Amino acid sequence: MVNTSAVQDTQVLEPEHEATFEGRLSEVLSAYSGNESELIPILQKVQQVFGYVPEFAIKEIAKFLHLSEVNVFGVATFYAQFKLVPTGRNIVRVCRGTACHVRGGARILREVEKQLGIKPGESTPDLEYALETVACIGACALAPTMVVNSDTYGQMTTKKVSEALNRGDQGE
């Protein structure tokens, strides 16, 4: 068993963390000249540093590039690569493809949801795990499958879920 209850989409940064985050953001921005063509590279770098694009970063990036916050927010939400809320450190992907579905993929997903206490698209409150579903991971012969970070687990059973989750946690 791992954790319960999900991070809400409305989660905000704790104020005591913001000072540190602002310092790190200033460092990130200092590597750029302030040209609006740098928007995507800056968003990518911010996500690399923080693990997501915090709301305060959108405001600071907008000021830095002389763009409106709406513009920056629009770009950050347009591209799926950018996450606007904190995401779990270990990414768990459960396959929902046809081959996995007919071999009990739904049971695997339910077990993962139960053990992590979250639904697809959510992260655990301690940000250890994020849960996603995928259409096919390309290992249909091993169905049902799931992936924890870069490790693929095939011929999954509900009993093997706990082991896969804990291995993923140690693997990072």
Q: Residue numbers of the site for ligand FES (CB under 6 A)?
A: 95, 97-100, 136-137, 139-140, 143, 145
- Can you read off the two tokens belonging to residue 79? 């591209």
Q: Work out how close the CB of 138 gets to ligand FES at its nearest, in angstroms, rounded to a whole number.
A: 6
Q: Nearer Cβ to ligand FES, position 72 or 156? A: 156
Give the DSSP letter of residue 135: S
Per the CB < 8 A criterion, the answer to whether 126 and 117 are in contact is: no
Spatial neighbors of 73 by CB under 8 A, at least 6 apart, are 58
**Minimal distance, residue 112 CB to ligand FES, in Å:** 14
Q: Which residue lies nearest ligand FES, judged by its C-beta?
A: 97
**Rounded distance, CA 95 to CA 48, Å?**
26
Closest separation in Å from C-beta 91 to ligand FES: 16
Q: Which is nearer to ligand FES, 99 or 127 (CB)?
A: 99
CB of 118 to ligand FES, least distance (A): 21
CB atoms within 10 A of CB 151: 11
